[in-house]
Structure 1
Amino acid sequence: MSIRDQLRERIRAERAAQAPWEVGKLVAAIAGGEGLAARDNLLFFTPPAEFPRRLSSLRQALDDRFARAQGAEQEQVLRFLADMAISLRSFLPAWNLRSGLGGAQLEEEAAATANLAARLAATAAPGVVSALLADWLAYARARLEAEKAADPAAMAAHLVGDSVAHYIERMSAAVTSGYLRRVAEARYRGETITELGNDYAAYLDYAMYLGVSFETTNP
């Protein structure tokens, strides 16, 4: 067996060992600040045919408990919903969900998730949304400074805006356009051998939205 085939078998075995989480476990992870792990389980380890039902059930569960949740949990829920909506419009579904779901289905789930985030944000406890926006703004500015953008502060303010809905809309636009996303899609279609990487794992989460598939780090 070649090295490539051995690697493929290892990947298959690792994926087979990852079972989709039930709604209760997903909710607990999100409430406990592990929204990224919940997102990854849904995106990468849920059979595509099951994904719409599982995500819909999770949205309902989060909706049902939001009003009585503490501010810290509300912030985690909104963070998760925003990330999931953006992720579904990013390159991330290419790793699993696109094998069984079309673009229209993915957009339907993204829109439903974004709409829920906007609705819940309007009912959040005082300070929740402002804290979330401040965190997103600081991160966006730092990333844009690292990218040597012309005016990081202004660009970050434009990206984040003054609402959760604005942030999701602008971030979705950012990750669906641009040269790097086009390169990743071309590789996905088999039109180029170019593969995107990310140095030092800096801002890896954003890079993965665009289609980065590996990182380089110091030993």
Structure 2
Amino acid sequence: MPMDKETVKDIQRSIAMKLNRVEYTEVPLIEGYSEAEDCYKRFRDSLKKISDSITWLMTYEYGGSKMKSLYSKMTMITSTSRIGQFKNYDIYEANGLIGLEFSKIGVASSLSDTGKKYSKAYMDISRYKLEMNSRLEQQLKKISDLRDHSNAIDKKRKKVSNIRYDLEMEKKSKEPKTPSMVSRENDMERTFKETSKEALKEMERFIGNDGVSGVLQKVAEAHRMFTEKSAKALEEVK
């Protein structure tokens, strides 16, 4: 199937832009575009890192090699409770179960009372962690949406780049300009400015509170709420 004229033109332009570095002296980018584009690309390319860090915050309580090593070295708390039972629990639930076991040792003892408080505190923290994870899950979804949004932005950026190149070549052309050529150049200039403004607006949105910055703020807020509730729960263990 033969390619249409626009596709052929895009390919030719792409090759020309790669082979010949163009110094843009006639068609400057609109104010703020270059800075926003640089910031946008950095944020876009960091989405996986942000996603990975959120995932770690959601799962760290299940531990790694150190937690498994700790479990393997611990002995039986009572004759009927082995640490192997904790393998399906997060670290907060595991601590809660330890406190529960201690609460059964000498019902009237201070250790029993402390064990109950300890158990309740860590079981509550485990619940708070689930609440935090639910909020973080929403931000992972937001990052997925931002990835899709970046694809649309990149297409718009490509359009800006293409129009800018064509317009620069048009302005530098030594060919005598007919009225129709002047009109076409004016149309290209108008389209370039409009498309640039649209792309700039979308990049700023991607970077700002509706985008990546907003995700980071929401993650920090969810973590803050978790730590504040957790600290309050632990204060009860006295």
TM-score interval (norm. to shorter): under 0.3
The higher radius of gyration belongs to 2
Alignment TM-score, normalising by the size of structure 2: 0.24
Q: Which has the higher contact order (CA 8 A, sep 6+)?
A: 2
